[in-house]
Amino acid sequence: MKKRIALWLFVVIFAIGMLAGCSAPQSTNGKTSKGSSNEAVNKEDNTGASNKTATDIKMIIKNAKASIIVTNSEKTITSISNWVASNGGVEFSRNTQMVQKNSRINVVYKIKPDRLQAFIDMLKEQGEITLCDVKSDDITEQYYDASTRLENLKKGREQFLEILKRANTIDEILKVQDQINKISGDLEALQGKINMWNKMVAESTVELTITELSDPIKNTHMDWQFTSFGDVLKIMRNGFILTCNLLVNFVSWAFIIVISLLPLIIFAALVLWIYLYIRKFKNRKK
C-alpha cells in the first residue's frame, strides 16, 4: 500500500513538473522575474543553453506573387521553367485559360529563398512586370519555443515509460498509459508543425501570372476577300426567300387574328345593326 501511494505521489509531482516545464519555455530570451530563485535561474539557463546559439539562426518564411505581360506566353513559360529547374526549383502547378482571346497562365513555383531576388530580376527580362509582392514572415521565436516544448515532451514521455515499468496494478498501468498517450499526441502534433515550418523556410512559394497580349502588328494584317458571283446569287436567293417567308407569316397571323376575333366582330356588327335600325325607326315616326 505504501509503495502504491509513493508511486502515485511521484506521478502527481512529475505531472506538475511537466506542466511547469511546458509553460516555462514560452520566454526563450533568458529573462526572469526579480523574485525568482537562483535555482530557477540555473535550471532555465541549463535547459536553454543549447538554444542560445540555435536561436541566432533566423527562421524566415519568404513568399512572392508576381504578374507579367508578354507577347508569347508559351515561349515565356518555357524559359522561366527552365531557369527555375536550373536553379534547384520545381514547377508545382500550372493552369492555362483564355481571357478575351488572350492566353493567361497561372503557375506556382517552389524555389530556394536565396534565389528569390534573382528570380524577380529574371522576370524583368521576360516582359512587363505589373505586380511584384514579396512577403517575409519571421517565425524564429515560435519555432524555437516549439522546439523546446518538443524536447520537454520527449523527456516526459521517457519518464512516464519508466513509471509504467514500475506499475503493479491494472489501474496504475491504465492511468500511466493514458498520460503517455496524451503526451504522444501532443508530441506528434508539435513535430508535424515543426516539420511544416522547416519545409516552408527551406523553399519559397512564388505565384506567377503570365498574361499574353496580342501583337498589334499581327492584328492589323488583313487579307483581301472577294465575293464570287455564285455567292451573290446565294445572297439574293436567301433574301427573296426571307421576304416571302415574312409575307406568308404576316398573312397567316392576320388570318389567325381575324378568326380568333370573329365572335366579337359578329356581336359588334349585331349591336351596330340594332342601333341603326332603332334610329331609322325613330326618324320615320318624326
Quick one: pLDDT at residue 233?
A: 84
Would you give per-residue pLDDT tens digits along the chain (286 residues)?
545 555 555 555 555 555 444 444 443 333 333 333 333 334 334 444 444 455 568 899 999 999 999 999 999 999 999 999 999 999 999 999 887 778 899 999 999 999 999 999 999 999 999 999 999 999 999 999 999 999 999 999 999 898 888 888 888 889 889 999 999 999 999 999 999 999 999 999 999 999 998 655 555 555 556 567 778 888 888 989 999 999 999 999 988 998 888 899 899 999 999 988 888 887 777 6
Of 199, 206, 201, nearest to 81 (Cα)? 206
Task: Report the pLDDT value the prediction gives residue 110, as an integer from 0 to 100.
Answer: 96
Angstrom distance (rounded) from CA 77 to CA 81 = 6
pLDDT given at position 216: 52
Rounded to whole angstroms, the Cα distance separating 40 from 34 reads 11
Residue 238 amino acid letter: N
Place of cell 506542466: 19
State the pLDDT at residue 150. 93
CB within 8 A of 215, min separation 6: which ones?
Answer: 71
Name the grid cell of 38. 537562483
DSSP 8-state secondary structure symbol assigned to residue 29: S
Cell of 242: 426571307
CB 22 within 8 A of CB 149: yes
How far is the C-alpha of 27 from the C-alpha of 145, rounded, in Å? 8
Cα gap 209→70, rounded to integer Å: 11
The conformation of residue 103, written as its DSSP 8-state character, comes to E
Amino acid at 272: L
H/E element, 111 = strand 102-111
With vertex at residue 279, the alpha carbon angle to CA 276 and CA 283, rounded to the nearest 5 degrees, is: 135
> In 3D, which of 33, 179, 105 has the Cα closest to residue 41?
33
Contact of 177 with 164, CB cutoff 8 Å: yes
Cell of 257: 387574328
Residue in 56, 59, 119 with CA at minimum distance from that of residue 85: 119
Report the distance separating Cα 61 and Cα 59, nearest Å: 7
Task: Name the CATH topology of 60-138+206-212.
Answer: Alpha-Beta Plaits (3.30.70)
State the Cα–Cα distance between residues 210 and 128, nearest whole angstrom: 10
Strand partners, 67: 131, 209
Give the pLDDT of residue 31: 36
The domain segmentation of the chain, as residue ranges, is 2-27+38-57+140-200, 60-138+206-212
Cα 110 to Cα 161: distance, rounded to the nearest angstrom = 42
DSSP 8-state class, residue 100: T
Question: For strand 204-212 and strand 60-70, is the pairing parallel, antiparallel, or unpaired?
Answer: parallel
- pTM as predicted: 0.53
